A and B are shown apart, each in its own frame.
Chain A
């Protein structure tokens, strides 16, 4: 009987050991489900070949990405060994111990943050902001940009009609107000027997859409979160006259130059509107631009790209993410090995060539970079002026408050821009008081 017990225990131990070994030979990387994620799957095959570690991927659609991943982190889940999380999550994930601090690892492996574009290191890696405490490696640079139907813009009859109306040539807008004029010009126009509209912009309410869209205008007008960085003194910054004007502008753009029923639209809807030939211009993240350029119907010669136009300030809304090691991983060595592999300049170059937006200077400062894609120059320009939402641990509460205030004003027509921004300060003040920061 004892011999039987012993044999059973030995078999169990063997099974457990082989399971653990199999686990250490696997890594799960979590990210949003979009074009760059598919490119990363391809890129990671090189890592698999070199390391012998099998890569698994968990990609979640954008509308559910934050919910799903933050729940995973907050519950200490072991689904993800590596996470390419949004820039705004870094404060909470660092303070709550979800991400591994990578400074010692970077020192040991000779990975220098000086090799990456400073704006991306600041936005994707550091907490507290600007301090040399790194919780992620910049993985995917991104900003909100614009694209338009170059073929429509080039048509002589459209050019003539535009010049007659506005007294200037129809071209890529240099300011937000020019953008509005162009969008209004196209709104309801007949092109090839189809009614088309001005622009598809972000108006989504549930996650972050309308905030990411409207801040494109707000930043361009000079909106700031605080008067003094780190002091949470929002009065006069968040609701400055320039910010009010920027918000009124975005509402006008929505009301006068977007397709009908465009009241809850984000990335997917913007892409759909453009690809179906409904709109002359659209905003979206640079991450989608390679796919758009390759689109057989609206890509190639028919499309061109431009950076978010300035008004008072040249500024773009930051997107993009860093790659972090999740503290709850049971394959820490494997996860760190992936980071080490991913940080190599050669891998970063391949990443860019496959559709990922590298943040490595070896890629961005390459003399041929600007001409490597029709949107590469715009990407560089945008990344030089990016501004991001709060990255505080309470970012979700701050974001939801802004989503509510903006959607109520812009889409649901409630109150004025001044009231929306004043209310936003009240909401944010309450959040910071709860957090003990005010």
Chain B
């Protein structure tokens, strides 16, 4: 049988073939990699460097004719001493902590249950993953109706179960429920993602390990803590990394559900940054804000990835 590479080589016109033959492997590798590197530089690296530069100025993108002044670290100083921004960071941290915790606990539990062999297993798995297939815009609008005090299903169910009048409270309104409402929606939407990753982890554990544990008369509880959890942990940590990064930049769903309100109760950093950059047009200031968020996420993610690698090496 003729090798397809040989066929391709034979089909290459002689002048081209001669030219390629004159190039080293390294040069050919560069030819292939160069377009990607160029795109990376143009789309990622250059804007990043430009943003860093802008963060030291008073530049406003809506004032093309205004003089751009170098303001040194003033933007950074204003951001780091702004109580409002720290409150926004706290709101984001609260959202991150609870969504990750709930998604890990519920996602792992669901995966553990689904991993058992039973009839309708595949159908149930498909049904569970439906929420994560929906667009965040659809989810935001859909839950806005569910949370509506007068006609929404959520208030109706609460009234049915507790007797609290449906129209006496608002899940997205004042009273402290709004931060929990967005956590519920995000958990509903993304727990299936965590579940799927955990399921992959659970199914990667060879049966013989459990069989050996059975032979050693290890209890189910012990098997769970000494086999299941350690072997699924790298997968779980990966899911937490993905969800953590995604939720740190959460925008669309929360913008649709609450717009950051009531007051600033659900004002996440991404929504706040968008307002500074594209509503107030404080481009220099918002560049500094973006850099601070970038460094925060990058730093935390780096520490986390190191921990993840250590867990994988064990």
Contacts and interface: CB of A to CB of B under 8 A. Distances in A.
* Bound pair (A, B): yes
Nearest to B263: A412
Contacts of A412: 174, 261-265
A396 B275 CA distance: 10
A263 B261 contact: yes
A272 to B, nearest CB: 11
A396 B65 contact: no
A263 B174 contact: yes
B103 interface: no
Contacts of B264: 404, 408, 412
B62 interface: yes
A263 B168 contact: no
Among A76, A205, A393, residue most surrounded by chain B Cβ atoms (within 10 Å): A205
Interface in B32-72: 58, 61-65
Contacts of A393: 63
Given A97-B65, A264-B261, A413 B150 contact: no
Interface stretch (B2-10, B20-28, B134-142, B279-287): B279-287
B38 to A, nearest CB: 25
A67 B279 contact: yes
A396 B281 contact: yes
Contacts of B262: 205, 263-264, 407, 411-412
Interface in A413-438: 413-414, 434
Contact of B280 (A95, A396, A408): A396
B144 to A, nearest CB: 9
Interface in B111-140: none
B198 interface: no
Contacts of A264: 172-173, 258-259, 261-262
A67 B149 CA distance: 29
Contacts, number: 84
A71 B278 CA distance: 8
A407 B260 CA distance: 11
A92 B150 contact: no
Contacts of A73: 62
A411 B263 contact: yes
B12 interface: no
A256 to B, nearest CB: 14
B280 A400 contact: yes
A195 to B, nearest CB: 8
B170 interface: yes
Contacts of B278: 67, 71
Interface in A207-254: none
Interface in B245-277: 255, 258-265, 275
A309 to B, nearest CB: 26
A70 B65 CA distance: 16
Given A67-B278, A261-B150, A396-B281, A96 B62 contact: yes
A260 interface: yes
A96 B261 CA distance: 32
Contact of A397 (B65, B168, B172, B280): B280
B133 to A, nearest CB: 26
B149 A260 contact: yes
Given A71-B278, A260-B150, A263-B174, A408 B263 contact: yes
B167 interface: yes
A290 interface: no
Nearest to B274: A67
A74 interface: yes
A259 B65 contact: no
A173 interface: no
B148 interface: yes
A336 to B, nearest CB: 24
B62 A74 contact: yes
A261 B148 contact: yes
A158 B282 CA distance: 53
Contacts of A260: 149-150, 167-168, 170
A206 interface: yes
B94 to A, nearest CB: 16
A438 B202 CA distance: 64
Contacts of B258: 264
B291 to A, nearest CB: 19
A252 to B, nearest CB: 14
B281 A74 contact: yes
B275 to A, nearest CB: 6
Contacts of B275: 400
Interface in A23-80: 67, 70-71, 73-74, 76
A263 B174 CA distance: 8
Contacts of B261: 205-206, 263-264, 407, 411-412
A263 B173 CA distance: 6
A92 B66 CA distance: 12
Contact of A411 (B64, B65, B173): B173
Contacts of B174: 263, 411-413
Contacts of B260: 205-206
Contacts of B282: 397, 434
Nearest to A71: B278
Interface in A118-175: none
Contacts of B259: 205-206, 264
B263 A261 contact: no
Interface in A343-393: 393
A70 B263 contact: no
A70 B62 CA distance: 9
A67 to B, nearest CB: 7
Given A206-B259, A396-B281, A261 B167 contact: yes
Given A74-B281, A407-B263, A412-B262, A96 B64 contact: yes
Among A92, A263, A413, residue most surrounded by chain B Cβ atoms (within 10 Å): A263
A434 B58 contact: yes
Nearest to A263: B173
A408 B168 CA distance: 20
B173 A261 contact: yes
Interface in B140-199: 148-150, 167-168, 170, 172-174
Given A397-B280, A409-B263, 7 more contacts: A261-B170, A261-B172, A393-B63, A396-B281, A400-B279, A407-B263, A408-B264
Report, nearest first, the 9 A-B pairs whose CB atoms are least far apart: A412-B263, A261-B149, A260-B167, A408-B263, A263-B173, A206-B259, A74-B62, A205-B261, A412-B262
25 contacts: A67-B278, A70-B62, A73-B62, A74-B281, A95-B63, A205-B260, A205-B261, A260-B170, A261-B150, A261-B167, A263-B172, A264-B261, A393-B63, A397-B280, A397-B282, A400-B279, A404-B264, A407-B261, A408-B263, A408-B264, A411-B173, A411-B174, A412-B261, A413-B174, A413-B263
